[in-house]
Structure 1
Amino acid sequence: MTPVESETQSHETDIEEIRQVIAEFQHAYEHHLVDEYMSLFKQDAIATMAGGKVLIGQDELAEHVRTAFARKAEGASTYELVHVLFIRPDVAAVKLRQVHTSYTDDQVRDEGTPLWIMTREDGRWWLATTQNTPVLKG
């Protein structure tokens, strides 16, 4: 049984909803859809990018995302759910594995290990805080 499967039965629906947010995030990221990407974040979200840049609130995050998406990086990213810790019924720490691959040869370019804090408000899960850390090779 994986750590995700070991969560209590009462969280099955929440975990499926969180998986849906991950899928929407990956889709928006891969297709450079700024509005779709931003719709997953709370208005006052805090994001720490893999390089350490801290962005506070939707305005700063949207500006960064527009610039990053405009570069249209060569490659794709996948996001795999590793573990969910429910801090409260409406707050979850979500651990992910992020893998960047090249479009041309499908080789892994780099990996990240994001941690998201998500909150359930207004009947849905939102990204409140995100932190991405690159995985060092070797």
Structure 2
Amino acid sequence: MVDRPVTQDTSGDERDVREIEEIFAELEAAFAEHDAAKFDARFTSDVVFTAVNGRRFHGWDDIHGYHRERLTHHADDISTWYEIDRITFPTPTVALVFLRQPVKTPHDQRANIGTWVLTKQDGAWWVCAAQNTGIAAA
């Protein structure tokens, strides 16, 4: 039998958890304000971001262009927020955030689930990768 390492049950410093939760609160506020610059403020320059539609973006400029267009032209009457299921720390400077993102529009309600990877650089947490998936209707 192979003795496999455990990486998902690693808890981090309470301050790191709070700082990461604050990033998602900032994302919620930026979405509500339709402010793409604020929304993308905590993404690394080389972020890899997969949107719920399966489109993958490489780099801050790429994702910022997408978010600027979406928030400027497609976010009216949409509300969304993040429900963090779990934050784990495989290393002290890497966090995995498992989340659910409900989305409400005047016409429907849906939700996405996501796995986001954050890295701590020079004392600050940054989003370096994100995978978002729409939850299929039952």
**Where on the TM-score scale, by shorter chain, does this alignment land: which range?**
0.7 to 0.9
Report the TM-score, using the length of structure 1 for normalisation: 0.87
8 Å CA contact retained: 2:37, 2:68: no
> Would you say 1:69 and 2:76 are equivalent positions?
no
Report the TM-score, using the length of structure 2 for normalisation: 0.87
Correspondence for 1:97: 100
Which amino acid in 2 is paired with 1:96?
L
Shift of residue 93, structure 1, vs aligned partner: 0.7
Match runs of 1:15-94 below 5 Å: 15-73=17-75, 74-94=77-97
8 Å CA contact retained: 1:94, 1:115: yes
> Would you say 1:113 and 2:113 are equivalent positions?
yes
What is the distance in 2 between the residues matched to 1:13 and 1:116? Answer: 18
What is the distance in 2 between the residues matched to 1:60 and 1:85? Answer: 28
Shift of residue 110, structure 1, vs aligned partner: 0.6
Runs of 4+ in 1 over 6 A off after TM superposition: none
1:22 is paired with a residue of what secondary structure? helix
Correspondence for 1:132: 132
8 Å CA contact retained: 2:48, 2:56: yes
1:110 is paired with a residue of what secondary structure? strand
**What is the CA deviation profile of residues 55-103 of structure 1, one whole-angstrom value per residue up to 9, with x for unaligned ones?**
000111111111111214222001011101111100011001100123x
8 Å CA contact retained: 1:99, 1:108: no
Which amino acid in 1 is paired with 2:134?
P
CA RMSD of aligned residues (A): 1.7
Shift of residue 7, structure 1, vs aligned partner: 5.8
What is the distance in 1 between the residues matched to 2:48 and 2:31? Answer: 18
8 Å CA contact retained: 2:10, 2:90: no
Query: What's the % identity of the aligned pairs?
Result: 27
What is the distance in 2 between the residues matched to 1:7 and 1:85? Answer: 6
Unmatched 5+ residue regions in structure 1?
A: 1-5
Unmatched 5+ residue regions in structure 2?
A: 1-8
Correspondence for 1:3: none
The number of residue pairs the alignment matches comes to 129
